[in-house]
A = this chain, B = another copy of it.
Amino acid sequence: MKIVAAQDFRLDRNVDYGTNEQNESVRQIVSTVRKEGDSAVLRYTAEHDHVLLTPEKLRVTKEEMMAAYDKVDRAFVSHIREAANNIRRFHEKQKRNSWMDFEPDGSLLGQIIRPLDRVGVYVPGGKAAYPSSVLMNVIPAQVAGVEEIVMVTPPATSGGEGINPYILVAAAEAGVSEMYRVGGAQAIAALAYGTESIRKVDKICGPGNIYVALAKREVFGAVDIDSIAGPSEIVVLADDTARAEYVAADLLSQAEHDEMASAILVTTSKLLAEQVQAEVEKQLKQLPREKIARASIDSHGSIIVVDSVLEGIEVVNKLAPEHLEVMVQEPMTYVSYIRHAGAIFLGPYSSEPVGDYFAGPNHIIPTNGTARYASPVDVDDFTKKSSLIYYSKEAFLANGEAIIGLARHEGLEGHARAIEVRLMLEKQG
């Protein structure tokens, strides 16, 4: 892991928009499913997942979900339940009320906040099937009040139609009411446009491979989508009070995700920089996913030595990282200076996996520097607002002329006349 000066540091960032072939294939799948419905969904499932289904077998039954509980260990059920409770409790605090303002002239102005009607959650199959992601997508929607939460996940190739029981248990714990065994671009198209078996949703969220990501981009507008995640990132900001073993382990927990992941240490301590460098090497050798983590550390890992914590925060604000760990003395005193970071972990015990799995805040966090303007997934992502305007006769008569004046300045005479016709007829009585 290389040590670099702050002024020499530059982070390469890139988002995968797919090859032309991938884009073409996704467009083809989406438009075919849109036209042909179930039959196309089943055809693509046979072709890509090598599983033959009938329309009746698309939906995962309640019995199947319940049977999954017998296939997972008891500790898992209790851990996932505890995590779900923490996540639910945190997200409950994000709920907002509709409000109304009662004006002295008799008017009412307000904002109505409502849950979306129906949301689709994509859950990848295979090795990327993460029960924690099920919780992080489903629970905020449920807390928002979304009545229909639909999950789609590809049928496991090896297990025939079977779905990973850990995913099923997580879904049941999170409160998924409807589930289909379908994956890839065909699943996204089915959710966006509807088929005979799968009704159209209002929003699609959840992670997926490049085909899923491209399909989400393709259907955006017909439905809402969540943001498309880039590679995961961590920045650790540490002073000489931090333990090198903890810093190194946290950097590696990020690096093991993906060769494209970035793990960066920003520190005021040259000694810590060297200790972490050695410790990363030592811990790397014992990691099952050593190859992935090493590739990430070699290409995207850096240690930056700075003169002060505040100078370190300047570097952090430029990076706008997805995850920021602050392992310095009195970390709370620095929070106000951190302008751009998706999630901020304070102190030696707030290791990133604490937030990834358990503490309560969402683990779906803006990547690729988008923390400058974007936010972790939350309850707001599953609600929408409507404005409410009731203008009283008194308010109308008092302000009609101003409105006419403004409309005429924009050359919109029809707007002016909608007001004028009322002023005229109301005066006639």
Name A residues whose Cβ lies closer than 8 Å to a Cβ of B. 15, 75-76, 78-80, 82-83, 90, 93-94, 96, 99, 101, 107-109, 111-112, 114, 116-117, 127, 130-132, 166, 202-203, 221, 223-224, 243, 245-246, 249-250, 252-253, 255-257, 283, 287-289, 293, 331-332, 335, 338-339, 341-362, 365, 368, 370-376, 378, 380, 384-393, 395-396, 399, 402-403, 405-407, 409-419, 421-422, 425
Contacts and interface: CB of A to CB of B under 8 A. Distances in A.
20 contacts: A76-B405, A83-B402, A90-B101, A111-B378, A117-B339, A130-B410, A221-B370, A249-B418, A256-B412, A257-B412, A293-B414, A332-B390, A345-B390, A345-B391, A349-B395, A351-B391, A353-B407, A354-B399, A354-B403, A378-B385
A249 B417 contact: yes
Contact of A93 (B111, B130, B255): B111
A415 B109 contact: no
A375 B371 contact: no
Most buried by B among A15, A82, A112: A112
A252 to B, nearest CB: 5
A415 B356 contact: yes
Contacts of A385: 375-376, 378
Contacts of A407: 353, 356-357
A421 to B, nearest CB: 5
A118 to B, nearest CB: 9
B347 A421 contact: no
Nearest to A332: B390
Contacts of A418: 246, 249-250, 252-253, 351-353
